[in-house]
Chains A and B, each alone.
Chain A
Amino acid sequence: MIKLNQINKIFSDKHQSFHCLKDLNLEVKQGEFTVIAGPSGSGKSTLLNIIGLLDKPSSGSYEFDGQNVAKLNNNQLADIRREKIGFVFQAYNLMPVLTALENTEMIMEFCNVDKKVRRQRAMETLEAVGLGEFKNRFPAQLSGGQQQRVAVARAIAAQPLLVVADEPTANLDSHSTESLLDLMQSLNQELGVTFLFSSHDPRVIDRAHRVVHLQDGQIVKDVCTNNNDQQVAV
């Protein structure tokens, strides 16, 4: 589903440039539960941004769901993000003026899904993440863990192919982390949604089927764990 080939990302301004990702190659298959691990500054978020089509690589080719997306314009990328990718961010990033239910159905509304359908699907998703009774609460009225659950609900309600989660547990306590990981893992297993995390949280890494280690913009280790009955590949 994801095929990165010789990806480079260079950030530069008038005075200096920074080579963030260097000749990176990566392939992710449908249904994987993969973590990109590495220390701060290793390029995890940048790689995730490129995979999630939030940023463009400086060079290299990127094939997403069979389509070469490296040369698409911003509007075309937005279309793919909206229809095929769900996002979960470290800081939850919910719309503060929308309720949990409205946040959950927001992307479906962008996609012009029928009101009845999207309302039902959003409600089911909120129930699935255990927040059905909090549907009318605004983000400020929810705990950090609950907000992140709403973010997950928002990410999966539109039934994307891929969920990109950038350090989703960084601001959560261990109970909320476990509960969130349980949730995402069950969604992965039941719905076959591909999950791609960036994290250096051992609790997340322990749950992953595959861990891609990144250091100084390069993949230094790519390990398939025995979770989910898979074999160590590398």
Chain B
Amino acid sequence: MGLYIRLAWRNLLRNKKRSSVTALGITLGIGFCITTLAIMDGLSHDLITGTTQGQVGHIQVHEQDYLAKRQLQQTIENNSQVVAELRELSSVKAAAARLYSFGYLSKGNKSIGVSLLGVEPEHERQVTSLAEQIIDGSFLSQPTPWPKGQALSEEQLALDEQLTEQAIANAFAELDGLDTTSSELQSHTNELIDTLAPLPFSLPNVILGVKLAKNLQANVGDEITLLFETAQGAQQSLDLQVAGISRQGTDLIDRTRMIFHIQDLQKLLQLPNQSHEIAISTIDLNKVDLAQQVISDVLAASYPKLSVQTWSQLRPDILALIQSNQALMGTLVFIIFLIAGVGVMNAMLVSVMERRKELSLLKALGLKGPNVVWLVTIETLVLTFVASIAGLVMGVVLGSYLQKYGWDISQFGEFSLAGVGMTSALKAKLTLNNLFIPVIVMFVIALLAALYPAFSAARLLPAQGMRAS
């Protein structure tokens, strides 16, 4: 073996220029492949993190048909009890309930349709990075103090019945073209509503998406008015106060989302102790399927109408995006290696052709065909080994830089993939796989590339080779 390696090494040094160019091809191939794979892994990591920490969480619980229909009434009942049971599971790190609806938001003469999201601020912080997205003002903390509604007295119930009949009569009269305007009817109705569902003691705080705030020309501390519909179908309006402005990074969300404390939204929508969604953060994202199974088993007994999904089931588009990116990068890496492999084969073939005399001499002196194959192969392996070390160093340096500082893509504007807001710097993620897979693949390709020159050398007949010299 010692002689083979010595011969291989010295033969490579004989034609430094050719060996250097071939080695450079391998070095650049491995270096760029490591960097590309690291960026790819960084992107996948950012996508998964952006998805899970951005809003989805690792696992979500819903009423079984909610995801298909998303109706206001499809809630998780006994929300506080369900959440409390989930928080006790060992695989669950945190659980936060959410409530969704839609409304119409106005300030001054500007009005915009908005999506309403009610969250549990203290728990949401542990599940997603919603609180970290605040760019002005502050995130929500306590729910707004709200007086309790009272049941109507018999007298009020009679008045309610009377007002209902009068409203029906007015409606028919309106159809006949008569003027039925009655301020008395409205004021009595409002009095009854105030008794049943009184207004809060102070204005509820909300968080606006950055583009929503800009379009509405609303700043922190401003009052805004929301028109919304309760779960019972009654249309109501309520004044609110802007507590903060958030930037999630996705255009649609920053343009339409308004965040409430869940208890405020429950009051508004008249959905006490109900939620549409419970987002869960698990102890280990890599064991999310196991956690899903545990949660499903726990909920199945007491809450058969609830369903449990992982982030990848909720966002299959993200998973598909990651997989297609990986396939694309795999193809790119393969092409890079193929080019490097052709370079290696070319170099070795020329080297063998130039050394026909020496190789046939070795055969004349008693080296067998397989030994000659081995000799040429070792030469290729030595070249690949040296170039791989340089490629590893290059990949580690480039990858580490991109892991630490990222690749600034802010000049291309805001960047989101499949609705997931990405950071302005693409960050690489170096792993052992990223480092060694390119090297191993390169060795395999170099070996394959060496086979043809090696077998050409092995086929040399000693006498013919000597004669040709």
Interface check B365, CB cutoff 8 A: yes
Q: Which of A78, A87, A97, A98 contacts B367 (CB 8 A)?
A: A78
Which residue of chain A has its CB nearest to the CB of B462?
Answer: A54
Residues of chain B within 8 A of A75, CB atoms compared: 368-370
Q: In the complex, what distance in Å separates the CA atom of A21 from the CA atom of B141? A: 105
Assess whether A54 is in contact with B463, with CB atoms less than 8 Å apart: yes
Nearest residue, chain B, Cβ from A79: B366
CB distance from A99 to the nearest CB of B (A): 10
Given contacts A82-B366, A91-B469, A110-B367, is CB(A98)–CB(B10) below 8 Å? yes
A93-124 interface with B by 8 A CB criterion: 93, 95-98, 102, 106-107, 109-111
A52 vs B461: C-alpha distance in the bound complex, in angstroms?
A: 13
Q: A74-B369, A107-B366, A110-B366 are in contact. Are A93 and B361 (CB under 8 A)?
A: yes
Contacts of B369 in A (CB 8 A): 74-75, 78
Contact A81 B364 (CB under 8 A): yes
Binary contact readout B356-396 vs A (1 if CB under 8 angstroms, 0 otherwise)? 01100111111111110000000000000000000000000
A89 touches B466 (CB 8 A): yes
Closest to B9 in A: A97
Say which residue of B13, B358, B370 sits within 8 Å of A95 (CB atoms). B358
Q: Which residue of A lies closest to B10 (CB)?
A: A97
Are A78's CB and B368's CB within 8 A? yes
Cβ of B7 under 8 Å from chain A: yes
Interface string of B178-212 (1 = CB under 8 A from A): 00000000000000000000000000000000000
A83 and B368 form a contact (CB under 8 A): no
Given contacts A54-B463, A98-B7, contact A83 B366 (CB under 8 A): yes
The reply to whether B366 and A95 contact each other, CB–CB distance below 8 Å, is: no
Interface-centre pick from A54, A55, A109, A154 (highest chain B CB count, 10 A): A54
Is the pair A110, B365 in contact by a Cβ cutoff of 8 Å? yes
Residues facing B in A149-175 (CB within 8 A) are 154
Q: Is A49 an interface residue (CB 8 A)?
A: yes
Closest to A80 in B: B366
What is the size, in residues, of chain B's interface with A at 8 Å between Cβ atoms? 27
B14's closest neighbor in chain A, by CB? Answer: A97
Which of B361, B369, B462 lies at the interface centre, i.e. has the most chain A CB atoms within 10 A of its CB? B462
CA distance A177 to B464 in the complex (A): 27
User: Interface size (A, Cβ < 8 Å)?
Assistant: 27
The answer for the CA separation of A102 and B5 in the assembled complex, in Å, is: 13
A49, A81, A98: the one within 8 Å of B366 (CB): A81
Q: Does B11 contact A (CB under 8 A)?
A: yes
Q: Give which listed residue, A78, A102, A106, A107, contacts B363 with CB less than 8 A.
A: A78
Q: Which of A52, A83, A93 has the most CB of B within 10 A?
A: A93
Residues in A neighbouring B463, C-beta threshold 8 A? 49, 54-55
Which of B6, B358, B365 makes the CB contact (< 8 A) with A102? Answer: B6
Residues A62-98 near B (CB distance < 8 A): 74-75, 78-79, 81-83, 87, 89, 91, 93, 95-98
Q: Is B68 located at the chain interface by the 8 A CB criterion? A: no
> Are B466 and A81 interface neighbours, CB within 8 A?
no
Q: Is B432 an interface residue (CB 8 A)?
A: no
> Is B234's beta carbon under 8 Å from chain A?
no
* Chain B residue at minimal CB-CB distance from A86: B365
* Distance to closest chain B CB from A71 (angstroms): 17
Q: Indicate whether B3 reaches chain A with its CB closer than 8 angstroms.
A: yes
CA distance A89 to B467 in the complex (A): 11
* Cβ B10 vs Cβ A82 within 8 A: no
Within the assembled complex, what's the spacing in Å between the Cα atoms of A54 and B364?
6
| Shortest beta-carbon distance from B9 to chain A in Å | 9
Inter-subunit contact B3/A106 (CB<8 Å):
yes
Complex Cα gap A95–B361 (Å): 8
Q: Is the CB of A87 within 8 A of B365?
A: yes
Kindly list chain A residues whose C-beta atoms are within 8 Å of the C-beta of B365: 81-82, 87, 106-107, 110, 154
Q: Is the Cβ of B358 less than 8 Å from the Cβ of A96? A: yes
Q: How far is the CB of A109 from chain B (nearest CB, A)?
A: 5
A55 and B6 CA atoms in complex are apart in Å by 29
Task: Tell me which residues from 123 to 155 in chain A have a Cβ below 8 Å from any Cβ of chain B.
Answer: 154
Q: B466: which A residues are within 8 A, CB to CB?
A: 49, 54, 89, 93
Question: Of all chain B residues, which has the CB nearest A52?
Answer: B364
Chain A residues with CB under 8 A of B368 = 74-75, 78-79
Distance A73 CA – B14 CA, assembled complex (angstroms): 34
Q: How far apart sit A110 and B367, CA to CA, in the bound complex (Å)?
A: 7
Q: Which residue of A lies closest to B13 (CB)?
A: A97
A96 partner residues in chain B, CB cutoff 8 A: 14, 358
Contacts of A55 in B (CB 8 A): 461-463
Once bound together, how far apart are the Cα atoms of A87 and B369, in whole Å? 19
Instruction: State which residues 228-251 of B face A: CB under 8 Å.
Output: none
Distance (whole angstroms) from the CB of A211 to the closest CB of chain B = 24
In the complex, per-residue mask of B432-469: 1 if CB is within 8 Å of any chain A CB, else 0: 00000000000000000000000000000111001101
Q: Give Cα A14 to B40, complex, Å.
A: 58
Q: List 9 A-B contacts (CB under 8 A).
A: A81-B364, A82-B367, A93-B361, A93-B466, A95-B362, A96-B358, A98-B10, A110-B3, A110-B365
Assuming A75-B369, A96-B14, what are 10 further A-B pairs, CB within 8 angstroms?
Answer: A54-B364, A55-B463, A75-B368, A91-B469, A93-B469, A97-B6, A98-B6, A109-B3, A110-B365, A110-B367
- Please report A residues at the B interface, Cβ cutoff 8 Å: 45, 49, 52, 54-55, 74-75, 78-79, 81-83, 87, 89, 91, 93, 95-98, 102, 106-107, 109-111, 154
Residues of B within 8 A of A (CB): 2-3, 6-7, 10-11, 13-14, 357-358, 361-371, 461-463, 466-467, 469
Question: Which 6 residue pairs spanning A and B have beta carbons closest together?
Answer: A82-B366, A97-B10, A54-B463, A55-B463, A81-B366, A49-B463
